Amino acid sequence: MNDFLTSLGSIVGTTNIRTNEAAQPYHTDERNRYHHAPIAVVLPKNTAEVAEVVKLCVAQNPPIAIIPQGGNTGLVGGAAVLPDHPSVLLNLTRVNAVRQIDEANRTMTVEAGVTLEHAQQIAQEHGLLYPLSLASEGTATIGGNLATNAGGTQVLRYGNTRDLCLGLEVVLPNGDIWSGLNTLRKNNTGYDLKHLFIGAEGTLGIITAAVLKLFPSPVDTLTAFIATKDLHHIVQAFNTCQKQFDAQLTAFEYISPNALNLVCDQFNHQHPFADDTQAHVALIEISHTSTQTDALNALHQSFNHHISAAIEQGFIKNAIVAQSGTQQMQFWQIREQISAAQKRVGKNIKHDISVPISAIANFVEVTCSQLEQHYPSIEPTIFGHIGDGNLHFNVSRGQAFANANALMAAETDINQIVYNQVQQHKGSISAEHGIGLLKKDWLEQLKSPVELNLMRVIKQSLDPLNMINPGKILNQ
């Protein structure tokens, strides 16, 4: 084993290997669920070093598995170390060069370890927008975003990470480097290999660099809260906004009464509709890129017109438009602090689910009613991205459970109720967080044997020795 560490050191430099206590921050996950230690944490600097590390690991007898890791902000144990697979944890945060920015082509080529925030900044410095936006963007890396096909608040307009990527460079399980850094928007020359690696959670290869799409930066936005009587009306309001504003509608975020009251309490925000705290609320953002002030005025007039009409028709009760940049930020803080507010009141059971937009309201009604039957007084905290059909459907202790232990003891049963309804409504048990370790047993239950078999065939064909992130997504 010492020989192996020496060889690793000769590839990446001995100062870029972590063992024992120094390794601990890397093998403790964001939600503090997984802790097993790897043989070593290795921090290569570039693609060539990554490839050499892979070749070295594969050449060991028995071979040593490789677990790729970005900013270690994942929520499902996708970069956790497994006791039954002696592994090297390959952290990519030092593989972080910005290789190219092409303003006229609206692309940038960055290495996997660049943080999302840094990528956003670079785009901004060139007068462009990299639209992916997540709570963990200061730490999460582009490689991790791609491996998990991360979502966030701007998916409605710009798509998931998958949709923002034109090309990849990947170190394959045999140590070969696939240079697929395509910068073209149209390229129909054979199988689109990048989509295999995006969202594969590092199980098919190690993403080392990517070509990202950039967009014109919005010049201004209209930010508003609307209040409705229920989730059916929220969906109706979404459809109205979508129809009128199309791609200018850049966010439509639902907040349930429970979630809104919680975040206002915990962070001393004024409730946007203080006289109607049982309202179902949506945070709406409409953006425009024109530098003409007439265009912004026309947007506001149009919004006011449609909101007034909706109030007359009865599916919106009230609306409030932010009057300044500061107020816009305050509106967004309310949305963004919901998770932190939940953390403050103790452990909770998270569900990152999606259903067709047309099924959202029924799904929530039926699921809440089933949970209520089993756990009287249960009050799920629900918020999410209406335009993506993506809800964060979380259960805190509340009045329903005597203490945190009682809540966590019910986790599997609660998951079963929620995921059964997700399946009834043709939804997904992981809209944006991935499968990792946390949900792989659920995946085995819920996916068809044909689909599971297809996934296994692909895994086996690209990684026949099962060396790259073994035991994630799929049981082998």
| Interface with its own copies in residues 340-359 (CB under 8 A) | 354-359
By CB under 8 A, is residue 185 in contact with its own copies?
yes
SS (H, E, C) the chain: CHHHHHHHHHHHCHHHEECHHHHHHHHCCCCCCCCCCCCEEECCCCHHHHHHHHHHHHHCCCCCEEEEECCCCCCCCCCCCCCCCCEEEEECCCCCCEEEEECCCCEEEEECCCEHHHHHHHHHHCCEECCCECCCCCCCEHHHHHHHCCCECCHHHHCCHHHHEEEEEEECCCCCEEEECCCCCCCCCCCCCHHHHCCCCCCCCEEEEEEEECEECCCEEEEEEEEECCHHHHHHHHHHHHHHHHHHEEEEEEECHHHHHHHHHHHCCCCCCCCCCCCEEEEEEEEECCCCHHHHHHHHHHHHHHHHHHHHHCCCCEEEECCCHHHHHHHHHHHHCHHHHHHHCCCEECCEEECCHHHHHHHHHHHHHHHHHHCCCCCCEEEEEHHHCEEEEEEECCCCCCCHHHHHHCHHHHHHHHHHHHHHCCCECCCCCCCCCCCHHHHHHHCCHHHHHHHHHHHHHHCCCCCECCCCCCCC
Structure tokens at 406: 């009682």
**Which one of residues 31, 99, 126, 162 is an interface residue with its own copies (CB under 8 A)?**
162
User: Rounded to the nearest whole angstrom, what is the least distance from the CB of residue 244 to its own copies in the complex?
Assistant: 5
| The binder of its own copies chosen from 215, 318, 332, 417 (CB under 8 A) | 215
Instruction: Kindly state the smallest distance separating residue 316's Cβ from its own copies, in Å.
Output: 17
Nearer to its own copies (CB atom), residue 424 or residue 428 = 428
Does 48 bind its own copies (CB under 8 A)? Our answer is no
Only segment of 41-49, 151-159, 331-339, 409-417 that touches its own copies (CB under 8 A): 151-159
Query: CA distances (Å), 137 to each of 115, 120, 298, in order?
Result: 7, 9, 33
Does 157 interact with its own copies (rule: CB under 8 A)? yes
Site for its own copies in 389-418 (CB under 8 A): 389-390
- Using the rule CB under 8 A, is 216 a contact of its own copies? yes
Taking the complex as a whole, how short is the minimal distance between the CB of residue 81 and its own copies, in angstroms?
Answer: 21
**427 contacts its own copies (rule: CB under 8 A):** yes
**Which range of residues in 182-190, 272-280, 328-336, 393-401 is near its own copies by CB under 8 A?**
182-190
Instruction: Please tell me the total number of residues recorded for the chain in this structure.
Output: 476
With CB under 8 A as the contact rule, the residue among 2, 61, 188, 323 that binds its own copies is 188
In this complex, which beta carbon is closest to its own copies, that of residue 59 or of residue 298?
A: 298
Applying CB under 8 A, does 290 fall inside the site for its own copies? yes
Q: Please list every residue from 299 through 318 that binds its own copies, using CB under 8 A.
A: 299, 301-302, 305
Q: CA angle, 159 as apex, 158 and 164 as ends, to 5°?
A: 80
Q: For its own copies, which is the closer residue by CB, 18 or 157?
A: 157
Work out how close the CB of 54 gets to its own copies at its nearest, in angstroms, rounded to a whole number.
14
Closest CB 261 distance from its own copies, rounded Å? 27
- Only one of the segments 47-55, 252-260, 338-346, 453-461 lies at the binding site for its own copies (rule: CB under 8 A); that segment is 453-461
Taking the complex as a whole, the smallest distance from the CB of residue 357 to its own copies amounts, in Å, to: 5
Residues 233-252 that bind its own copies (CB under 8 A): 235, 239, 242-248
Q: For residue 267, state whether it binds its own copies (rule: CB under 8 A).
A: no
**Binds its own copies by CB under 8 A, chosen from 140, 212, 378, 429:** 429
Asked if residues 237 and 315 have their Cβ atoms less than 8 Å apart, the reply is yes
CB of 74 to its own copies, least distance (A): 11
Cβ distance 76 to 436 under 8 Å? yes
Q: Does 462 bind its own copies (CB under 8 A)?
A: yes
Site size toward its own copies (CB under 8 A) is 100
Q: Which stretch binds its own copies (CB under 8 A): 6-14, 221-229, 372-380, 454-462?
A: 454-462
**CB-nearer residue toward its own copies: 379 or 388:** 388
**Closest distance of CB 159 from its own copies, Å:** 8
Looking at 151, 202, 380, 471, which residue binds its own copies (CB under 8 A)? 151
Using the rule CB under 8 A, is 153 a contact of its own copies? no
Pick from 458, 456, 437: which is nearest to 448 by CA?
456
Options 289, 313, 333, 399; binder of its own copies; rule CB under 8 A: 289
Restricting to residues 102-121, name those near its own copies by CB under 8 A.
Answer: 102-107
